[in-house]
Amino acid sequence: MKLQNIFDKNKEWVQSKLDIDEDYFKNLSKGQSPEILYIGCSDSRVTAEELMGVSPGDAFVHRNIANMVPNTDLSAMSVIDYALTHLKVKHVVVCGHYYCGGVKAAMQSADLGILNPWLRNIRDVYRIHRDELNAIENEDERYNRLVELNVQEQCVNVIKTSQYQKAFADRQVVVHGWVFDIHSGKLIDLKIDFEDKLKDIQEIYRIS
């Protein structure tokens, strides 16, 4: 890939937007009021806006290795705070994907240096759901299930935050767990019952 091509493509993209609406960028510069906070994986194959078919301004996006929401990660926590408290998004999406290298790495016993503490969060998910996962004999199926359970646990991590608990009390912000299937291109809604999860975890994590 030649980097100059990127600038050429950018020029074409700017023109294509202006052809439809000459004020497109003028309006874009006025501010943002996205309805969705999307938390996804950094994987180059799993785009955020493109796979959802949304435009600039529609989604506030946070991506990291394996779409994690670690409780002490300043970056993820700041994004959640800004999206819920200031942008007042209506939906929080955690989107994982099958064939996730981060999840795969957490299923193996290799020492990956600085990645160890990050992947340990996924190993924690495995430990919590060890019985279910160990009962799956097929390794690919076990891997896919861990991807889904990791999404579920990261949704729980969103629900644990004071920002989310306040946003739910104020305006019933919804949390969604999705998986992108790279093999088919389809987005799958895991239909996580977040209200049930909220009730369940508030026994321990209630803030207020």
We find the least distance from the C-beta atom of residue 101 to Co ion, in angstroms, to be 6
Amino acid code (one letter) for 177: G
Our CB check for Co ion shows the closer of 133 and 151 to be 151
Burial of 115 (0-12, 13-18, 19+ CB in 10 A): middle
Our CB check for Co ion shows the closer of 34 and 102 to be 102
We find the least distance from the C-beta atom of residue 189 to Co ion, in angstroms, to be 18
Query: How many angstroms separate the CA atoms of 91 and 163, rounded?
Result: 13
Catalytic residue among 41, 62, 95, 176: 41
We find the least distance from the C-beta atom of residue 86 to Co ion, in angstroms, to be 28
Is residue 41 flagged as an active site residue? yes
We find the least distance from the C-beta atom of residue 190 to Co ion, in angstroms, to be 16
Is residue 97 flagged as an active site residue? yes
Q: Which of 76, 180, 80, 67 is nearest to 122 (CA)?
A: 67
Query: How many angstroms separate the CA atoms of 156 and 193, rounded?
Result: 11
- Return phi, psi of residue 93, to 5°: -115, 130
Torsion of CA 47, 50, 54, 55, to 10 degrees: 100
**Residue ranges in contact with Co ion by CB under 5 A:** 41, 43, 100, 102
Is residue 100 flagged as an active site residue? yes
Secondary structure element (H or E) that encloses residue 4, with its range: helix 3-20
Is residue 127 flagged as an active site residue? no
Our CB check for Co ion shows the closer of 100 and 159 to be 100
Is residue 170 flagged as an active site residue? no
Catalytic residue among 62, 95, 97, 176: 97
The residues annotated as belonging to the active site are: 41, 43, 45, 97, 100
